[in-house]
Amino acid sequence: MTEQIRVAVAGAGGRMGKEVVKMVLEDPQLRLVAAVNLSDEGMDAGTLVGLPACGVTLSNDLELALVEGKPQVLVDFTTPQSAYSNTVVAIKQGVRPVIGTTGFTPEQIEDLDKQCQERGIGGLIAPNFSIGAILMMKFAAQAAKYFPHLEIIEYHGDQKLDAPSGTAVKTAELIAMNREELRQGNPLEEETIDGSRGGYYNGFRIHSVRLPGIFAQQEVIFGGFGQTLKIRHDSYERAGYMPGVNLAIKKVMEYEGLIYGFEHFVD
C-alpha cells in the first residue's frame, strides 16, 4: 500500500477548511495529522465536520501543530492577512504549502518560490481549485486572440475580503499573455461616478460584484463586430473545489519550487 501523505489544514474551522478536513479524512491515501483554527481549540477535527472522531484536535498555534504533527503538506484557506505568514512558517518547517487564499503580491510569490527551492520542496498558490473555473480561464485566454475587446465580471458574496477576486486577476493575467495591451472604449469617455467603469487591467476592465446570496461566478464577455461571446463559470457549493485540492496535495509532492495557478495541473 502506498504510504499516506500527512496533511495539516489551516483555517480548519472555516467553511472551506471544513470541506478540506472532510475530504482528507475520507481519502485513504491521505492522513490528517494537524488542524489549526483560531477558535474551537481542543475540539476533535472529525467531530467538527460531522464525521467520527479522528484523534486530531484543533490547535490555535500553527507552528506548534506543524512541529508536533510533522505533516508533509499544509492546506491553507484562511485570510489574506495571515496566509503569507502561514506559508512562511510552513516552508521553514519543510512542509509543502497548498494555498487557496488569495491576495498575494507578485513579490511575495517570488519570495516564497525562492524559499521553497532553497528547502527543496514544492508549493502551490491557486486562486481557484475548480476544474471548471480553470477551463473557463483557459478558454478565455484562447478567445482573446480573436476577440481583443473584453470585460470581466466576477460575482461573490458580500463577505469576500479582496476585490477583484484572485480568479479574476489570474484570468486577466492569462488573457494578457495572448493579447497586446489595447485601451478599450471611447477615448473621450468620462466616468461621472468614480469607478463605474471598473478596474483597469492591460486595457480592459474588471468588475467586482459583492452581494449576499451569491456564492461564486465569473464571466468574460468578448465583443466584436456584430457579435458577442460570453464564457461563464458558476460554482454552487464548496465541495466542488475538493477534487482540485485533493489533486494539488498529491501533485505538490512531485516537484520543487512554488507554482502559481492550478491551471498548470490541467492539460
The CATH number linked to 99 is: 3.40.50.720
95-99, 191-195, 225-229: segment of lowest average pLDDT: 191-195
Same domain (yes/no): 51, 182 = no
The pLDDT of residue 2 is above 90: no
CATH of the domain at 149: 3.30.360.10
Overall domain count for the chain = 2
Same domain (yes/no): 49, 137 = no
Nearest CA-CA partner of 98 in 250, 260, 249: 249
pLDDT value of position 41: 85
The pLDDT of residue 82 is above 60: yes
Grid coordinates representing 88? Answer: 512562511
User: Which of the following is catalytic: 70, 138, 149, 160?
Assistant: 160
The burial of 138, by beta-carbon neighbours within 10 Å (0-12 exposed, 13-18 middle, 19 or more buried), is given as middle
SS3 for 108? helix
Same domain (yes/no): 18, 113 = yes
H/E segment holding residue 55: none
Residues 154 and 219: their CA atoms lie apart, in Å, by 6
pLDDT value of position 1: 52
SS3 for 180? coil
Same domain (yes/no): 44, 10 = yes
Same domain (yes/no): 80, 159 = no
pLDDT value of position 17: 93
* CA distances for 220 relative to 50, 52, 83, 95, 206, angstroms: 38, 43, 28, 36, 9
Same domain (yes/no): 231, 250 = no
User: On the CB side of 215, how many CA atoms lie within 13 Å of its CA?
Assistant: 11
Is residue 126 within 8 A of residue 99, CB to CB? The reply is yes
SS3 for 218? strand
Residues 74 and 10: their CA atoms lie apart, in Å, by 7
Which of 99-113, 155-169, 186-200, 217-231 holds the top average pLDDT? 217-231
Residues 60 and 221: their CA atoms lie apart, in Å, by 43
Same domain (yes/no): 249, 231 = no
Grid coordinates representing 235? Answer: 460554482
User: Which of the following is catalytic: 156, 170, 207, 233?
Assistant: 156
Order across the sheet with 199-201: list the strands.
199-201, 204-210, 149-156, 216-224, 227-235
Same domain (yes/no): 115, 245 = yes
Same domain (yes/no): 249, 119 = yes
Same domain (yes/no): 250, 157 = no
What is the average pLDDT across 100-116? 91
Nearest CA-CA partner of 27 in 7, 9, 56: 7
Q: Decide if 207 is catalytic.
A: no
pLDDT value of position 185: 84
Same domain (yes/no): 15, 116 = yes
Residues 125 and 104: their CA atoms lie apart, in Å, by 9
Boundaries of domain holding 202: 131-235
pLDDT value of position 223: 97
What is the average pLDDT across 209-235? 96
**pLDDT > 70: what percent of the chain?**
99
Same domain (yes/no): 116, 166 = no
- First and final CA of the chain: distance in angstroms? 28
Grid coordinates representing 155? Answer: 460575482
pLDDT value of position 166: 87
What is the average pLDDT across 33-48? 92
What is the average pLDDT across 112-141? 93
Nearest CA-CA partner of 180 in 160, 200, 203: 203
pLDDT value of position 10: 96
Q: Decide if 160 is catalytic.
A: yes
What is the average pLDDT across 45-66? 95
Residues 19 and 13: their CA atoms lie apart, in Å, by 9
Confidence of residue 127 (pLDDT cuts 50, 70, 90): confident
Average model confidence (pLDDT) for the chain? 93
63-72, 151-160, 186-195, 198-207: segment of lowest average pLDDT: 186-195
Confidence of residue 261 (pLDDT cuts 50, 70, 90): confident
